[in-house]
A and B are shown apart, each in its own frame.
Chain A
Amino acid sequence: MIKVTSITNSKDARAFLVDIGDRVTDRVELNRALAERYVALLRDHWREKDQKGNKLGGERTHFWSKAAEETGIASVDEDGATITVGGAAGQQVRIHIFGGTIVPVVAQALTIPIVREAYGLRASEYEEKTGKDLFTFGRGRALFEKVDDGGNQSVVSGPGFKRREGIPWSPGTMIGQHRSIRPSSTVVPLARQQQLRPVYLLLDQVEIPADPKALPSEDETIATLLAAAEDYFEFEGGAP
Chain B
Amino acid sequence: MINFATDQPLGEAIGSMDRRTPIGSMMTSAEWERAPLEIRDRSFWMAKVLNERVLAEAQRRLLQAIKQQRDAAEAGGRVMERGRFVLEMQDILRQVGYQPDPAKKGTLQDISSSRRLSLVWDMNLAQARGYATWKAQQEKGALYRAPAQELVRVMNRRERRLWPRIWAALGGKFYGKPGRDYPEAPGRMIALVNDPIWSAISQFGTPWPPFRWGSGMGLRSIFRREALSLRATDGTPLLPEDAPPQLPQAMPQGFNTGLRISVRGVQDAGIERLRSEFGDAVRFDGTIASYQRDLSPANEHREEPVEVELRNRARAAFQRGEKALESGGRERLPEEAAREVLVSAAAVQVGRKRLYYDDHGADAEAAAELLKQTVDRRVRVEVIDGHVLAWRPDLLDLTPEQILAMSTGDLPVNGKLLGYGAESPGAIPRTQVIIRDGEGNVVFGFHAPFRDAKAFGQARLRDWTDATGEDYTLTLIPMEGGAN
Contact = CB atoms under 8 A, between A and B. Distances in A.
Given A40-B221, A84-B10, A13 B125 contact: no
Given A13-B3, A86-B66, A87-B9, A105 B77 contact: yes
Contacts of A82: 1-3, 8
Interface string B81-97: 11100110010000000
Interface string B134-146: 0010010110111
A132 to B, nearest CB: 12
A218 interface: no
A68 B209 CA distance: 13
A81 interface: yes
Nearest to B142: A36
Nearest to A235: B224
Nearest to B122: A66
Interface centre among B86, B141, B144 (most CB of A within 10 A): B141
Given A40-B221, A88-B82, A33 B5 contact: no
Interface in B147-206: 152, 154-156
Interface in B17-76: 65-66, 68, 76
A15 interface: yes
Interface string A1-42: 000000010011111100000000000010011001110100
B68 A91 contact: yes
B79 interface: yes
Contacts, number: 160
A125 B3 contact: no
B114 A87 contact: no
A231 B78 contact: no
Given A38-B2, A43-B220, A74-B3, A88 B155 contact: no
Given A36-B146, A70-B129, A91-B81, A125 B10 contact: no
A87 to B, nearest CB: 5
A167 to B, nearest CB: 30
A11 B5 CA distance: 8
Given A15-B1, A105-B78, A125-B86, A87 B13 contact: yes
Contacts of B7: 84, 90-91
B106 interface: yes
A83 B142 contact: no
Nearest to A70: B129
- Looking at B13, B139, B154, the one whose CB has the most chain A CB atoms below 10 A away is B154
A88 B1 contact: no
A62 interface: yes
B223 interface: yes
A65 B145 contact: no
Interface of B: 1-11, 13, 65-66, 68, 76-83, 86-87, 90, 106, 113-115, 125-126, 128-130, 132-133, 136, 139, 141-142, 144-146, 152, 154-156, 209, 218, 220-221, 223-225
Identify the 9 closest CB pairs spanning chains A and B, nearest first.
Answer: A12-B5, A74-B8, A86-B10, A15-B1, A84-B8, A125-B114, A122-B83, A14-B2, A62-B155
